[in-house]
Amino acid sequence: MKNEIQVLVTMELSDEARARIQETSPRIKLTVIPAKKPEDISDSRWKDVEVLYTWNVLPEAQKAPNLQWVQFKSAGIDSYADHPLLRSSEVMVTNTSGVITSQIAEYVLMALLAFGQKLPKLLRYQQKKKWPKESEKWQDFMPIELRHSTVGIIGYGSIGRQVARLLNQFGATILAAKKNVMHPEDSGYMLEGMGDPHGDFFSRLYPIEALHSLLAECDFVVLTLPLTESTRHILDESVLKAMKSTAYVINVGRGGLIDEQALVAALKARQIAGAALDVFEEEPLPEDSPLWGMDNVIISPHVSGISHHLNDETLTFFIENINRFLSELPLYNRVDPNEGY
């Protein structure tokens, strides 16, 4: 590896952030060019770049012959999985899985408590200035307490593990599903004191193929999977039918994990009790979507991952990986293009 490393960042960076990257090593030659598309960066610059830190600006492979590593500032990169650059065996690709887990896990907890404590119905009563009769309180506002609930976490990665950590404190029974049940531990990036690095917080671990069995026991189902060809519409009509009629779905993964037409039908028929959705198959969610008007649905505009701390924590992760790159150690969060994550 030569002495100087050309690092290109395609996003705005504060002076403090630039200094943090530059101070990592005297070998770093940092260039910051805020860009929305590859054409915003000159061909001569693309030719030199060796490390790229970006949201979504990717050059054509032939324009970046020296590129060795792309660090995305996002955990989900399914939109770019087929990009030729990511398919190149010459370029390492990493995401920020494990960085934005705390705030997403708190969103999930919010949704679980909102449904469990009947918050949507309480707000409807408030809007109508209606005080319920005593009999209505027991009928309409009987809570679903987490201590007596079973929560299924579909996708036991960094987000799912942090959800499990939070729920463990409430005494919930946690069932988890992941691709490889032979390895319940987490070897990816995770801040100290977060997640479930050793697989301690679930009662049972299921293979994805046993999803129906898991769902039949759950009061709440949390989706945190990446979107791949194998996970697209993993919650389809048949899977929704396997759920309890009193169960709720919370999706903070990707919109394509759920067959929305099947979900709408299940919600209308009260085949399931409700859903909290932060992601959708089409975003922004179209105004004519029936989901908007459903009283058993909580809709948020893909905000579960935003945080005042996001820029700092993603930069900290990038610098950790820079140090590993310079030391020729394996990078955290290597993406396998064939897997899609």
CATH class, 5-99+308-326 region: alpha beta
Catalytic residues: 254, 283, 302
Q: CATH 3.40.50.720 in the chain, residues?
A: 5-99+308-326, 101-299
Mean pLDDT value across residues 38-56: 97
Q: What is the pLDDT of residues 177-195, one digit of tens each?
A: 999 999 999 988 998 999 9
Residue-level pLDDT at 82: 83
Residue 187: other Cβ atoms inside 10 A: 8
Please give the Cα distance from 291 to 224 (Å, whole number). 20
Q: What is the pLDDT of residues 216-246, one digit of tens each?
A: 999 999 999 999 999 999 999 999 999 999 9
Residue 330 pLDDT > 90: yes
Query: Kind of pairing, strands 150-154 and 220-223?
Result: parallel
pLDDT classification of 173: cutoffs 50, 70, 90: very high
Mean pLDDT value across residues 249-274: 98
**Structure-token pair, residue 178:** 């992941």
One-letter amino acid of 144 = I
Tell me the percentage of the chain whose pLDDT exceeds 70.
99
Cα separations (Å) of 262 from 215, 247, 257, 266? 16, 15, 12, 6
Residue-level pLDDT at 1: 46
Mean pLDDT value across residues 204-214: 97
Cα separations (Å) of 164 from 176, 211, 217? 9, 18, 17
Residue 137 pLDDT > 50: yes
Strand order across the beta sheet in which 274-277 lies:
204-207, 173-178, 150-154, 220-223, 248-251, 274-277, 297-299
Residue-level pLDDT at 111: 98
Residue-level pLDDT at 199: 97
- pTM of the full structure: 0.94
Please give the Cα distance from 156 to 185 (Å, whole number). 10
Q: What is the pLDDT of residues 263-320, one digit of tens each?
A: 999 999 999 999 999 999 999 999 999 999 999 999 999 999 999 999 999 999 999 9
101-299 topology per CATH: Rossmann fold (3.40.50)
Residue 77 pLDDT > 90: no
Residue-level pLDDT at 296: 96
Please give the Cα distance from 70 to 252 (Å, whole number). 25
Residue-level pLDDT at 136: 92
CA atoms within a 13 Å half-sphere pointing along the CA-CB vector of 327: 10
Residue 48 pLDDT > 50: yes
pLDDT classification of 148: cutoffs 50, 70, 90: very high
Q: 15 exposed, middle or buried (CB, 10 Å; 0-12, 13-18, 19+)?
A: exposed
Residue-level pLDDT at 2: 58
